[in-house]
Amino acid sequence: MPQTVLITGCSAGGIGHELAKVYFAKGVRVFATARRLESMNELASLGIETFALDVNKAESIEAVKQKITEINGGRLDILFNNAGKAYSLPNSDYDMNQVSELFNTNVVSIIAMCKAFTPLLIASGHGKIVNMSSILSFLPLPFAAAYCATKAALNAYGDSLRVELKPFNIDVITIMAGIIKSNIFNNADYKLPENSAYAGMRAYFDNKEHFAVEKQAMPADVFARSVVARTLKSSPPKTLWAGAFTTPAWIVSTFLPSWLLAKILGLGAGLPTFAKQLRADKKQA
């Protein structure tokens, strides 16, 4: 019987879409899910089974769980929690509804998915949970504080869950993803409000390249090939690094003192120049 994987957030243009194709090419039975079925038309045309799933809706999770239970004899080998979103603004400009949705999508929904699918993973004999974290879980990037916090929470969640699921022979793998080409930057909200305390940095926020670093991002298919092979190992790593900038991110976070790392990231965002401008404005006033 082939192995099975359920992947969340498989819309075209994103990482989940490529993960589905690579698992399928390796002979794994793939249950690809996304909020909109039509965003997975290409996957369906390849023969991949597609299901509508909004990870923030309990009834949607339950419906997919029932379906997979029915069609796969109550078992699942790999639960790949990929769905997620970004949000990048100064904390003082946050829309708290967006922040709640961010935490629901990037953290709470993953807890709900793991809860729902643990019985199926136990039944498989050697289940695996793969959670999509980020190098931003440990890099103090300004204007991404809430996103960074969701990914750091996911790291801690995975570390604890790994211990408690050990008796059931379920591996928990945290992916420390670098920068990958996808729709995440286009889907995120960066619009600085008119009255922002950071209005003097508008040019920075209007330049999406600061966030997208598109040119250096790893293509999603290359990322997927690197990740899938390692999750299929009989003894997969607890933490799996993949994507552009993972090596420099590891080096600076391991060897630089935290104050220097914070200084470099602040400099990258132009914060010292902004602070200088604020001081000059204050003097003039």
Ligand X SMILES: NC(=O)c1ccc[n+]([C@@H]2O[C@H](COP(=O)([O-])OP(=O)(O)OC[C@H]3O[C@@H](n4cnc5c(N)ncnc54)[C@H](OP(=O)(O)O)[C@@H]3O)[C@@H](O)[C@H]2O)c1
- CB of residue 179 vs ligand X: minimum separation in angstroms? 4
Positions in 115-174 near ligand X (CB under 6 A): 132, 134
Q: Report whether 34 contacts 56 (CB < 8 A).
A: no
- Residue 54 CB, shortest distance to ligand X, in Å, is 4
Q: Does 179 bind ligand X (CB under 6 A)?
A: yes
13 lines the binding site for ligand X (CB under 6 A): yes
**Radius of gyration (C-alpha) of the chain in whole angstroms:** 20
Q: Is 151 a catalytic residue?
A: yes
Shortest Å distance, C-beta 86 to ligand X = 6
Report the residue from 3, 6, 7, 8 that binds ligand X according to the rule CB under 6 A. 8
Return the range that interacts with ligand X (CB under 6 A); candidates 30-38, 111-119, 228-236, 257-265: 30-38
For ligand X, the binding residues in 97-116 under the rule CB under 6 A are: 105
CB of residue 190 to ligand X, shortest distance in Å: 14
- 55-84 footprint of ligand X as x/- string (CB under 6 A): xx-------------------------xxx
Residue 14 as a binder of ligand X (CB under 6 A): the answer is yes
Regarding 180 and contact with ligand X (CB under 6 A), the answer is yes
CA atoms of 86 and 99, how far apart (whole Å): 10
Residues with a catalytic annotation lie at 147, 151
The footprint of ligand X (CB under 6 A) covers 8-11, 13-16, 34-36, 39, 53-56, 82-85, 105, 132, 134, 177, 179-180, 182-184, 187
